[in-house]
Structure 1
Amino acid sequence: MIVELSHEFLRKEILKVGAHPASLEIFERKAQIIPLKIFNISSPTANVIKQEMLSLGGDVVVHKNVVDCKIEKSDVILLGTKKHYELFIKKLENNKYFEIPLVLQELKEYLLKQKPEKIVSPWGRVLNLSRTLVMGIINVTPDSFYSGSRKMQINEVLKTVEDMVINGVDIIDIGGQSTRPGAEPVSIDEEMSRVIPAIESIRKSYPDVVISVDTYYSKVAELAVDRGADMINDISAFRFDNDLVKIVAKYKVPYILMHMKGTPKDMQKNPYYDDVVREIMEFFEERINYAKENGVDPEKIIVDPGIGFGKRYEDNLEIMARLKEFKSLRKPILIGASRKSFIGKALSDLPPEERLEGTLGITALCVLNDVDIVRVHDVKENKRVIKVLEEIKCIRSSSL
């Protein structure tokens, strides 16, 4: 009998064989191929990389015309174990040709950098990122795409928060304007008149709950933080209000940076991608660098691929299928897919009111892929799915 072992249980199975505990780290470094892709490398550099990795027993994928330099640049896929990469880095340190120093620097940064274990708000409230957190959606709007999320009266807001807190919500997200496809923006004053009273009331009644404000207006964000909000959820990634980055830097507030093509009004007018994951990753890299250059603490940035924001049906599915690749950024990941149209389409065009089960399937996928935050309308149901899967994940982690 032959069994292919789950990587998560390799350590446990090695000990069952009777190996010396001191050998565990050695075996684990050799046990799993880690494919790493590097973009736009010159052919001479790619040839050196391939030669050096092959000499260590690893491998490298390059364009077929790299070997004779008939192509100027190629993407490169490295195939190696942790041990291979350790030895590969040592080899590259002695090679100063072409783009090798740049590749070496990026490789070191990637392999050494870790996602933050927690994020602390300006008020001292803590988001522990050791499990998947639930962000509950409350829209103080008359026109959000899912009617169940609309809570225009303060008593409705507080009753919804009460239910969410009872059911274990980790973050309450308050939004004052709809960002559904085709939505017109509301004014700063209108958004402020909606979200600030809601935040004040929630903070007074629930002093310990973490509050997020869903806004791209700097004035709304600043007043919201002043009145007790802990984080800013910005669909624009600092692109709609130039002063927002100053507010985030000034208050050292956790910040959700989301990818979107266009604006809510026009984002679904024939969006197109040649490579959706690569383009989103490049967007994140540029926006994170922009934030850092403007004084934002990079350890407080959370990334959101923006499900449904300037994406086709197939784009949303590919993002969900490749969630683990976004972990390469070493940033906490948020997924907001609750009751969205791609779920309805997958379920034979069901309306938002009938997309709960599909949403729970997406949440399960997120948990299994170690997504840090899921933004949902239905806290109780999603929390229960997460609780079961986290128990299973505990079994996995206890074997490591």
Structure 2
Amino acid sequence: MRYIRPLMQVGPARPAGAVTCGGCWFSHVEVLSRTEDPHVLSVSALTAEELAPFDRDWGAPRIMGILNTTPDSFSDGGQHNARADAVAHGQRLIAQGADSLDIGGESTRPGAHVVEVKEEIARTAPVIRVLRAAGVTAPISIDTRKAAVAKAALDAGATVVNDVSGFTHDTELAPLCAARGVPVCVMHAQGDPQTMQDNPTYDDVLLDVYDFLAERMELLQAAGIAKANIIADPGIGFGKTLDHNLALLNRISLFHSLGVPILLGASRKRFIGTIGNAPEASARAPGSVAVALAALAQGVQIIRAHDVADHAQAIALWRASVAHR
């Protein structure tokens, strides 16, 4: 099997025959394989089947604002676990430029423990309900691995389900999403939060993560979830070392071959602090923005972010500068 990674470009100097993808374009691809060295080909050398996933427009990059209603999340635990604080912060994220909100009631930081279903529902569903009552119309995703939590959130007004386990934790979650007809985000993680950073290993992290997501997407579609309702997330920081994270970011445009939008969730992650000399997670906004802009240059469509105002400003300037003629 060969894997096709578009070599993304931006700007007006676009050759004839270039293919549009994720707000960028490409005229050449890198062909990857488990048995051969990488090599570069013109798009003219690809088959129609190989080109099919790319030629589509998902519009401008989107920002997904992070709203953790937990006491122990890695970067903002306890700041928004009071309901009034969570609602106010959600409204603030929308005002700052978030296109959607991602609300989670169970920390998935390394070493975190499972939260009981009733507690997770109590942390999330009321916040969603109040946000809707307050007039928030933007998409709201529920960040959960559990069908019961997702059901309560959807009943309260959530419109997307974001599962960090890639729909492997609860067999009832995919059928629920199919029955409700809601978009889903399928993410790769090696292990669960309690164990995922215990010496994660891969044969080839890029291709292993790609194969996992491709397999999960097939299973989700078999469960009745339309491909048009799937978003893929390579799971930066979930069962990955610093080198694994960088390998994924370096070639993240490979995931366009899945034919669905790519979500990047790198905001404030530990590797940003390590490389950027920022031990405190709250001080990692500049590094988070830098990683986001690099991902946008590879066509990533959705950026999940804590520091929404910083990302919104940076993305607006990035788009203006690359589109300027």
Say whether 1:270 aligns with 2:194.
Answer: no
Shift of 1:114: 3.9
Give the Å deviation of 1:298: 1.1
Letter in 2 for 1:163: R
Change (3 A) 1:10 1:385: closer
Give the 5 Å matches for 1:320-331. Answer: 320-331=249-260
Cα deviation per residue 1:141-197 (whole Å; 9 max; x = unaligned)? 111111367311222122212221221110111100100000000011110111010
Q: Distance in 2 between matches of 1:7 and 1:301?
A: 26
Kept in 2, the 8 Å contact 1:138–1:150? The answer is no
Q: Secondary structure at the match of 2:102?
A: strand
Query: Which one scores higher on RCO, CA 8 angstroms, separation ≥ 6?
Result: 2
CA RMSD of aligned residues (A): 2.2
**Alignment map for 1:81-96 (pairs within 5 Å):** 81-85=42-46
Counterpart Cα distance in 1 of 2:53 and 2:33: 17
TM-score normalised by the chain length of structure 2: 0.89
Q: Tell me whether 185-194 or 341-350 shows the greater mean CA deviation.
A: 341-350
Distance in 2 between residues matched to 1:244 and 1:115, nearest whole Å: 31
Q: Deviations over 1:353-382 (max 9, x none)?
A: 221211111121122222111111111111
* Contact 1:259/1:309 (<8 A) preserved: yes
Q: 2:279 aligns with which of 346, 350, 353?
A: 350
2:208 corresponding residue in structure 1 = 279
1:180 to 95, 106, 109: 109
Moved more, 346-355 or 306-315: 346-355
2:36 is equivalent to residue 36 of structure 1: no
Contact 1:171 1:212 in 2 (8 A): yes
How many residue pairs get aligned? The number is: 310
Contact map agreement 2:11 2:322 (CA 8 A) in 1: no
Q: TM-score, normalised by structure 1?
A: 0.73
Partner residue in 2 for 1:302: 231
1:38-77 pair list within 5 angstroms: 74-75=35-36
- Give the structure with higher Rg (CA): 1
Partners in 1 of 2:267 and 2:291 — Cα distance? 8
Contact 1:183 1:265 in 2 (8 A): yes
Give the Å deviation of 1:390. 1.1
Q: Is the 8 A contact 2:187 2:235 kept in 1?
A: yes
Partner of 1:68: none
1:220 is aligned to 2:160: no
Aligned twin of 2:48: 108
Asked if 1:242 corresponds to 2:203, the answer is no
Q: Which amino acid aligns with 1:279?
A: D
Contact persistence 2:191–2:239 (CA under 8 A): yes
Q: Give the aligned residue type for 2:162.
A: N
Deviation at 1:33, TM superposition (A): 3.7
CA contact (8 A) 2:106 2:115 kept: yes
Contact 2:230–2:261 (Cα < 8 Å) also in 1: yes
Amino acid at match of 1:316: N
The answer to which of 210-219 and 363-372 deviates more is: 363-372
Q: Which has the higher helix share?
A: 1
Matches within 5 A, 1:132-211: 132-147=61-76, 150-211=79-140
In 2, distance between residues paired with 1:362 and 1:32?
24
In structure 2, what is the Cα distance between the partners aligned to 1:113 and 1:321?
20
| Shift in alpha-carbon separation, 1:218–1:315, aligned structure 2, 3 A | same
Unaligned runs of 5+ in 1: 1-5, 15-23, 40-73, 86-106, 118-128
Confirm or deny: 8 A CA contact 2:101 2:138 kept in the other structure.
Answer: yes
Q: Distance in 1 between matches of 2:228 and 2:56?
A: 6
CA distance in 1, matches of 2:223, 2:212: 17
User: Separation in 1 of the partners of 2:275 and 2:29?
Assistant: 32
User: Aligned partners of 2:296 and 2:44: how far apart in 1?
Assistant: 29
- Counterpart contact for 2:70–2:77, Cα < 8 Å: no
